[in-house]
Amino acid sequence: MFVSDLLESKKDCCLVESDSATVERHSLSGWELFLMPLRLTWTAIALAAAVLVTSGCIDDSRTASQRSTGGKKDGAAATSEKLARFPMASDGPKSLDPVRGSTVYENRCASPVLETLLQYKYLIRPFKLEPLLLEDMPTVSNDGVTYTFHLKKGVYFHDDPCFPDGKGREMVAADVLYSWKRMADESKSKVAWLFEDTILGFNQYRDSQRHAETFDLDADMQGLKIVNDHEFTVTLAQPTSRFLWTLAMFQTSVIPREAVDGYGSRFGLHPVGTGPFTLKEQDWRKGQSITFRRNPNYHECFYPEEHMPEDIPEGFQKAAGQQLPFLDAVEITFEPKSEPMWLNFKNGKYDFTTVPADNFDEAFNRRTKKLRPEMKAERIRGYPVPLLDFMFKGFNMEDPVLGGYTEKKKKLRQALCLAMDWDEVNDVFYNGINIVYDGPIPPGLKGHPESGQVDVSYRGLNLEQAKKLLAEAGYPNGEGLPFLEYYTGRVANSQEQTEMLQQHLSRINVQLHVHLLDFSTLIQAVDNKKAQFFSFAWGSDYPDAENNLALFYGPNEAPKPNHFNYKNSEYDKLYQQIFSMQPSDERTAVMETMRDIVLEDCPYGGSMARTRFYLVRPRLKNFKPIETFENWFKYIDIDPAAE
Amino acid sequence: MTDETHSRSLQKFLRHRPALLSLSIILLYGATAAVLIFSSVMTMEHTLEPVAAFNLPGFSRQCMPEKRLRDVERSFRRIEVALRRRNPIEQLKSVTAGSLVLASHDPAYLQSRLDQVDGIIDRLYGYEDLDQIVQDSAQDASAILDQLNELESVATELFTLAEGRTEAGRRFRLLLGTDKQGRSILLRAIWSVRVAILVGFVTGMVSVVFGTALGLVAGYFGGWIDHAVNWLYSTFASIPNIVLLIVLSFAFDGGEFDDLLNRWTGNFARKIIGVPVQETLIPVFIAFCATYWIGPCRVIRGEALKLRELEYVQAAQVLGYGRIRILLRHMLPNVAHLMLINFSLLFIGAIKSEVILSYLGLGVKKGPSWGIMIKQSGQEVINGFYWQIGAATVFMLVLVLAFNILSDAVQDILDPRHVG
Amino acid sequence: MWTYFLRRLLYNVPVFIGILLLVMVALRVRDPVYAYLGKNASADTIEAKREEFGLTRPFILATPMESQFGSFVVQVFTLDFSDDSWDHPGETVGDILGRCIGPSLALSIPALVLTTVISVIISVVAASFRGRLIDQSLVIAAVIGMSVSFLVYIIFGQYWGAYLLPEITGYKPFAINGYTHPSETTWWEYITYHWPHHCLLPVLISVIVAMGYDTRFYRAVMVEESGRDYITTARAKGASQIQVMFGHMLKNAMIPIITRVVITIPFLIMGSFLLETYFTIPGMGRQLILAVEHADFPVVQAFTAVLAAIYILANLLTDVLYALVDPRVRLS
Which of A54-63, A178-187, A585-594, C17-26 is predicted least confidently?
Answer: A54-63
* Nearest Cα residue in chain C from B18: C140
Give the gap in angstroms from C-alpha C187 to the nearest C-alpha of chain B.
Answer: 32
In whole angstroms, give the CA distance from residue B397 to residue C145. 9
* Nearest Cα residue in chain B from A20: B417
Q: Which of C155, C300, C312 is nearest residue B378 as measured by Cβ atoms?
A: C155
In whole angstroms, give the CA distance from residue A630 to residue A115. 11
Give the count of beta carbons closer than 10 Å to the beta carbon of residue A484.
Answer: 18
* Residue that wins the pLDDT comparison between A74 and A242: A242
Measured over the CA atoms of residue A395, residue A398, residue A402 and residue A406, the dihedral's sign is positive
Given CB atoms, is B378 within the 8 Å cutoff of chain C? yes
> Between chains, do C280 and A95 touch, taking CB under 8 Å as contact?
no
Give the count of beta carbons closer than 10 Å to the beta carbon of residue B253.
Answer: 22
- Report the amino acid identity of residue B126: G
> Between chains, do C155 and B374 touch, taking CB under 8 Å as contact?
yes
Give pLDDT tens digits for C109-136: 888 888 888 888 888 777 777 777 888 8
Q: Which of B185, B149, B159, B152 is nearest to B58 (CA)?
A: B185
- How, if at all, do strands A533-539 and A484-489 pair? parallel
Whether the predicted pLDDT of B3 surpasses 90:
no
* Residue that wins the pLDDT comparison between C251 and B337: B337
ipTM value, please give it. Answer: 0.78
A630: confidence class by pLDDT, cuts 50, 70, 90: very high
Given CB atoms, is B237 within the 8 Å cutoff of chain A? yes
Q: Largest alpha-carbon pair distance within chain B?
A: 97
A222 neighbors A204 (Cβ within 8 angstroms): yes
Dihedrals φ, ψ of B89, to 5°? -60, -40
In whole angstroms, give the CA distance from residue B49 to residue B39. 19
> Between chains, do A503 and B48 touch, taking CB under 8 Å as contact?
yes
A394 beta partners? A534, A604
In whole angstroms, give the CA distance from residue A149 to residue A236. 14
Q: What average pLDDT does this structure show over B310-318?
A: 78
C58 neighbors C66 (Cβ within 8 angstroms): yes
Give pLDDT tens digits for A566-596: 999 999 999 999 998 888 999 999 999 999 9
Length of chain A: 643
Identify the pLDDT of residue A623.
94
C331: confidence class by pLDDT, cuts 50, 70, 90: low
Given CB atoms, is C289 within the 8 Å cutoff of chain B? yes
The domain segmentation of chain B, as residue ranges, is 3-46+186-414, 65-165
Give pLDDT tens digits for C301-312: 888 888 888 878
Residues of C in contact with A36 (CB under 8 A): 242
Given CB atoms, is C27 within the 8 Å cutoff of chain B? yes
Identify the pLDDT of residue A3.
31
Give the gap in angstroms from C-alpha B113 to the nearest C-alpha of chain C.
Answer: 44
Question: How confident is the prediction for chain C on average, in pLDDT?
Answer: 78
Given CB atoms, is C292 within the 8 Å cutoff of chain B? yes
Q: Which residues contact C96 (CB under 8 A, 6 or more apart)?
A: A286, C85, C88, C287, C299
For every residue of A154-168, which 3-state class applies, written as one string?
CCECCCCCCCHHHCC
Domain B3-46+186-414: CATH class, spelled out: mainly alpha
The one-character DSSP state at A193 is: G
Whether the predicted pLDDT of A2 surpasses 50:
no
B420: confidence class by pLDDT, cuts 50, 70, 90: low
Q: Which residues contact B74 (CB under 8 A, 6 or more apart)?
A: A427, B53, B97
- How, if at all, do strands A284-285 and A329-334 pair? unpaired
Whether the predicted pLDDT of C247 surpasses 80:
no
> Between chains, do C209 and A523 touch, taking CB under 8 Å as contact?
no
Given CB atoms, is B97 within the 8 Å cutoff of chain C? no
In whole angstroms, give the CA distance from residue C36 to residue C295. 9
Give the gap in angstroms from C-alpha B319 to the nearest C-alpha of chain A.
Answer: 30
C262 neighbors C322 (Cβ within 8 angstroms): no
The domain segmentation of chain C, as residue ranges, is 17-77, 100-325
- Report the amino acid identity of residue C154: I
Whether the predicted pLDDT of B279 surpasses 70:
no
> Between chains, do B66 and A503 touch, taking CB under 8 Å as contact?
no
Whether the predicted pLDDT of B20 surpasses 60:
yes
Whether the predicted pLDDT of A39 surpasses 50:
no
Q: What average pLDDT does this structure show over B384-399?
A: 90
B381 neighbors B375 (Cβ within 8 angstroms): no
Residues of C in contact with A556 (CB under 8 A): 40
Give pLDDT tens digits for B150-176: 888 888 888 888 887 888 888 888 889
- Report the amino acid identity of residue B58: G
In whole angstroms, give the CA distance from residue C280 to residue C287. 10
Q: What average pLDDT does this structure show over A61-87?
A: 52
Residues of B in contact with C311 (CB under 8 A): 237-240
Residues of A in contact with B94 (CB under 8 A): 461-464, 507
In whole angstroms, give the CA distance from residue C56 to residue B315. 59
A31 beta partners? none
A403 neighbors A410 (Cβ within 8 angstroms): no
Give CA A91 to chain center in angstroms: 12
Q: Which of A424, A274, A524, A272 is nearest to C37 (CA)?
A: A524
- How, if at all, do strands A289-294 and A381-386 pair? unpaired
> Between chains, do A366 and B70 touch, taking CB under 8 Å as contact?
yes
Mutation for testing the B interface, residue in A4, A5, A9, A491 having most B CBs under 10 Å: A9
A158: confidence class by pLDDT, cuts 50, 70, 90: very high
Q: Which of C40, C114, C229 is nearest residue A19 as measured by Cβ atoms?
A: C229
C211 neighbors C126 (Cβ within 8 angstroms): no
Q: Which residues contact C176 (CB under 8 A, 6 or more apart)?
A: A339, A340, A343, A344, C158, C161, C162, C201, C279
* Residue that wins the pLDDT comparison between B333 and A295: A295
Whether the predicted pLDDT of C290 surpasses 80:
yes
Given CB atoms, is C155 within the 8 Å cutoff of chain B? yes
In whole angstroms, give the CA distance from residue B33 to residue A311. 62
In whole angstroms, give the CA distance from residue C14 to residue B415. 37
Which residues between 255 and 294 in chain B have a beta carbon less than 8 angstroms from any beta carbon of chain C? 256-257
Whether the predicted pLDDT of A258 surpasses 80:
yes
Q: Which helix (H) or strand (E) holds B84?
A: helix B65-84
Q: Which of B239, B254, B393 is nearest residue C148 as measured by Cβ atoms?
A: B393
> Between chains, do C147 and B234 touch, taking CB under 8 Å as contact?
no
Measured over the CA atoms of residue A87, residue A90, residue A91 and residue A95, the dihedral's sign is negative
* Residue that wins the pLDDT comparison between A17 and B294: B294
Give pLDDT tens digits for A335-391: 888 877 888 888 788 999 999 887 887 888 777 778 888 888 889 999 989 899 999
Q: Which of C147, C156, C220 is nearest residue B404 as measured by Cβ atoms?
A: C147
Q: What average pLDDT does this structure show over C170-196?
A: 77
Dihedrals φ, ψ of A271, to 5°? -75, 145
The CATH number assigned to the domain with range C100-325 reads: 1.10.3720.10
Mutation for testing the A interface, residue in B79, B94, B358 having most A CBs under 10 Å: B94
A162 neighbors A272 (Cβ within 8 angstroms): yes
- Report the amino acid identity of residue C218: Y
Which residues between 255 and 314 in chain C have a beta carbon less than 8 angstroms from any beta carbon of chain A? 255-256, 259-260, 263-264, 267, 272, 278-280, 282, 287, 290, 293-295
**Residue A309 exposed, middle or buried by CB count within 10 Å (0-12, 13-18, 19+):** exposed
A616 neighbors A352 (Cβ within 8 angstroms): yes
The one-character DSSP state at C294 is: T
In whole angstroms, give the CA distance from residue A239 to residue A142. 10
Dihedrals φ, ψ of C256, to 5°? -60, -30
Q: What average pLDDT does this structure show over A238-266?
A: 92
Dihedrals φ, ψ of A553, to 5°? -80, 125
Give pLDDT tens digits for B327-366: 777 778 888 888 888 888 889 888 888 888 888 777 787 7
- How, if at all, do strands A231-235 and A224-228 pair? antiparallel
Dihedrals φ, ψ of B127, to 5°? -80, 145
Q: What average pLDDT does this structure show over B58-84?
A: 82
Give pLDDT tens digits for A447-489: 898 888 888 888 877 888 899 999 999 999 888 898 898 999 8
For every residue of A407-459, which 3-state class applies, written as one string?
HHHHHHHHHHHHHCCHHHHHHHHHCCCCEECCCCCCCCCCCCCHHHCCCCCCC
Which of A442-446, B227-231, C34-38 is predicted least confidently?
Answer: C34-38
Mutation for testing the C interface, residue in B26, B199, B238 having most C CBs under 10 Å: B238
Question: How confident is the prediction for chain B on average, in pLDDT?
Answer: 82
Residues of C in contact with A34 (CB under 8 A): 125
User: Of A277-281, B169-173, C169-173, C305-309, which has the strongest mean pLDDT?
Assistant: A277-281
Give pLDDT tens digits for A77-113: 345 688 999 999 888 888 899 998 778 889 999 999 9
- Buried/exposed code over B266-303 (b: 16+ C-beta within 10 A; e: otherwise): eeebeeeeebbbbbbbbbbbbbbbbbbbbbbbbbbbbb
* Residue that wins the pLDDT comparison between B415 and C39: B415
pTM over 0.90: no
Q: Which of A48, A68, A524 is nearest residue C31 as measured by Cβ atoms?
A: A524
User: Of B22-36, B97-111, C61-75, which has the strongest mean pLDDT?
Assistant: B22-36
- Report the amino acid identity of residue A40: L
Identify the pLDDT of residue A30.
35
Q: Which of A210, A256, A199 is nearest to A233 (CA)?
A: A199
In whole angstroms, give the CA distance from residue A396 to residue C305. 41
Give me the half-sphere count of Cα atoms (radius 13 Å) on the Cβ side of residue B105: 11
